[in-house]
Amino acid sequence: GLGFNIVGGTDQQYISNDSSIYVSRIKKDGAAYLDGRLQEGDKILSVNGRDLKDLRHKDAVELFRNAGYDVSLKIQRRLQQQNGPVGHQDDGESGGLPLAAFLVPGLALAAAAVWILLRYRQRM
């Protein structure tokens, strides 16, 4: 096999109102694991040029089983890892606060503390 499991399809939607096929699990030491490019949560758009849109789950599984030795996958990378269904955000933002939101004020406070300490020592 190709070394991964899939979820989704028109009859088994993994995400509501989305019948796409997603990678649910990469099998350790399988072909996909050893290749290293495919990740859990990736949406598979096509297999060997065959579009996976509007396929039932079992039909998608059959496509993978008959894909042959050299397999070409077109995927859409998931944007962030979550527990439960994979979420795709339209703007590419990861959500949450960026690291700079903590670093800049922290560095400013540290610089102010050093400056105060140096001024205090000069007066002694």
Structurally, what CATH architecture does the domain formed by 4-76 represent?
Roll (2.30)
For residue 55, report the phi and psi dihedrals to the nearest 5 degrees: -105, 145
Q: How far is CA 8 from CA 20, 24, 60, 121, in A?
A: 6, 9, 9, 67
pTM of the model: 0.62
- Give which of 9, 33, 36, 13 is closest to 85, Cα–Cα: 13
Tens of pLDDT, residue by residue over 28-68, are 989 999 999 999 999 999 999 999 999 999 999 999 999 98
Q: In the chain, where are the structural domains located?
A: 4-76
